[in-house]
Structure 1
Amino acid sequence: MVLTVDYVEKMKLLEKKLAVEFEMKDLGQLKYFLGIEISRSEQGIFLSQRKYILDILSEIGMLACKLADTPIETNHSLTVYLDQIETDKHRYQRLVGKLIYLSHTIPDIAYSMSIISRFMHSPSEEHMTALYLILRYLKGSPRKGLLFSKNDKACIEGYTDSDWARDKTTGQSTSGYFTFVEGNLVTWRSKKQKVVARSSAEAEFRSMAYVICELLWIRSILADLGIKYEQPMNLFCDNKVAVEIAHNPVQHDRTKHVEVDKHFIKEKLDNQVFQTLYVRSED
C-alpha cells in the first residue's frame, strides 16, 4: 500500500487508524512498487522502470540486441494481410501485455503500442518485427522515465495531434494527446478514432474533443483535492483549420460530420474553460 499525504503528522495519524484494522509495517519512503522505481533529488521525484525493461530483455534473450532510434518505423504500413506469415500468437500477446505496462513511465512508446495492439488476434512476422523494434528502442533508453518537479507554472495544458487515415485496413485516424499540470506530464493517450475522418482537419478536431474531456476530468480531480484553477486551460494544436473551426459557430460542409464535438468545444470556449493555441508541428 502506498500512502501519500502533505504533512507527516497526517501520515502518522492515518497509519494508526489503519493499524487498528490491519497488520502493518512502515517500510519508509517509497522506492520500488509494482515494477516502478521511485527516486528523489533536489529536482523532484523521478519514476522509471529500468529493472522491468532489463528483465524483459533478459527473458527473451535480447540484452545484446542492436539499438533503435525510434520505437516504430516512420510512415509504417502495418496492417493485416491475407497472405501474411503467422507468428507465435501467445508469445506476441504476452510481450504486448508486458510493454503496455511500460507505457506508465515511457510515453514515447504510446503510439507504437497503440498500433501493434491492433493485431493481437492475428499477429504476423511483420508485426513481431515491429514489436522487437520497440524492445530495441527500450534497450537504448532503459533509464527514461517521468520527472515530477516544482516550478512556477500554475496552469493545466494539453497538446493534441492526429495522423489522418493511417490505418490501412479501415481508413481510420489515430488521435494522440498529452496533458501537463504545472509543467509536469500527467496523462497521455494514443487511440484509433471510432469513425473515419474525411479530412485531416476533421481528424484533428476529433482529437481536440478527446483532450478537452481529459482536461475537464483533470480539473475536476484537482478540485476534489482542494486545488482550484480559475484561469482558462491551454489547448495546443498544430492544425490552424481545426482551431478556426472551434471558434467558428457557422455550420458548413467541413463540420457537418462533427457537429456534436463542434458544439461541445464551442460551449467550453465561450465559457472560457480553455483557450486554443496554435503550435507548429516541429515543436
Structure 2
Amino acid sequence: MSNLGLLHYFLGLQVEQTDHGIFLHQAKYVNDILERFCMTQERPDSTPLAVNHGISLDCEGEPVDPTYYQAIIGSLMYLTASRPDIMFATCLCARYQVNPNTVHLTAAKRIISYLLHSPNLGIWYSNNEKFDLVAYSDSDYAAYVLEDPIPDQPEEEDVEGMAYWEKYCANLVQVSCLMLETMIPELQKDFEHHGA
C-alpha cells in the first residue's frame, strides 16, 4: 500500500486540512451543478426557499419534465452532505418528483440560485481539543403544514415530548455523529502524520 499524502477528495467531498482544523466542502460540485443546469448567469438568491413559498401537492402550474426535475433534486440531495443549509428546501422539493410543475421547478431552481450566493460554504471541524457537536431543530419546520400525516406514526409513544419525525431525525443525527466520530480521528491522524 502506498502513501498518497494528505486527503484532498473523498467521495466528492473536498477536504482542506490546516493547522486549525478540517474544512469539508463541495465547491467544485456546486460549480458543476450551476453549469449543468445553465444557472451560472442567474441572479443569486440570499435564501434557498421563499418565506411564504406556498409549495404543495395542489399548487397550480404547467407540468414539467419529471426526468429534468429529478436530475436537479438528485444533484441537490448529494450536495446536502456538506450543505445542511439546503436540506429542508431540497427535501421539500423532493416530495414532488412524480408530477412536478412549474411552481416546483421554480423552487428547485431557487435553491440552485442560492448556491450562486454561497458556493464555498461547507462544514468546519476545529482542531481544538474541545469539540462539541451542537444541533438545532425547528420542531414545526417554520410552521410548515404537511399535506399527509406521517405514515406509521405511533399513537402513544412519546419520546420526551418530541414528535415522531423528530425521533427519526434524532436517530439520523446519531448515526451521522457516530460516522463523524470514526472519521475525524482518522483525518486528524493523517493530518498529524503529514504535518501540514
Q: TM-score range by the shorter chain?
A: 0.7 to 0.9
8 Å CA contact 1:37, 1:49 repeated in 2: yes
The letter for the 2-side match of 1:209 is K
* Whole-angstrom CA distance in 2 between matches of 1:211 and 1:28: 36
- Could you tell me how far apart the structure 2 residues matched to 1:93 and 1:145 are? 24
Aligned partner of 1:209 among 154, 167, 190 = 167
CA distance in 2 between counterparts of 1:40 and 1:76 reads: 38
Query: Which residue among 89, 92, 105 is the counterpart of 1:128?
Result: 105
Task: Structure 2: state its 5+ residue gaps.
Answer: 186-196
Identity across the alignment (%): 30
Q: What is the aligned length?
A: 179
Between the aligned partners of 2:9 and 2:177, the Cα distance in structure 1 is: 29
> How far has the Cα of 1:140 moved from its partner?
1.2
**RMSD between aligned residues:** 3.3
TM (normalized to structure 1)? 0.54
1:94 counterpart = 2:71: yes
Task: Note if 1:141 corresponds to 2:99.
Answer: no
Shift in Å at residue 32 of structure 1?
A: 1.9
Preserved CA contact (<8 Å) 2:154 2:164 = no
CA distance in 2, matches of 1:57, 1:216: 32
Cα distance per residue 1:239-275 (max 9 Å; x no partner): xxxxxxxxxxxxxxxxxxxxxxxxxxxxxxxxxxxxx
Structure 1: segments with no counterpart, 5+ residues? 1-14, 16-24, 173-191, 228-283
Q: Which has the higher contact order (CA 8 A, sep 6+)?
A: 2
Asked if the contact 2:66–2:99 (Cα under 8 Å) also holds between the matched residues in 1, the reply is: yes
* C-alpha displacement of 1:203: 8.6
Q: Which stretches of structure 1, 4 residues or more, deviate above 6 A after TM superposition? A: 218-225
The offset of 1:47, in angstroms, is 0.9
Q: Compare the two structures and name the one with the higher strand fraction.
A: 1
Deviation at 1:153, TM superposition (A): 3.2
Q: Are the structure 2 counterparts of residues 155 and 33 from structure 1 closer, same or farther at C-alpha, using a change threshold of 3 Å? A: closer
**Letter in structure 1 aligned against 2:117:** G
In our comparison, the structure showing a higher alpha carbon Rg is 1
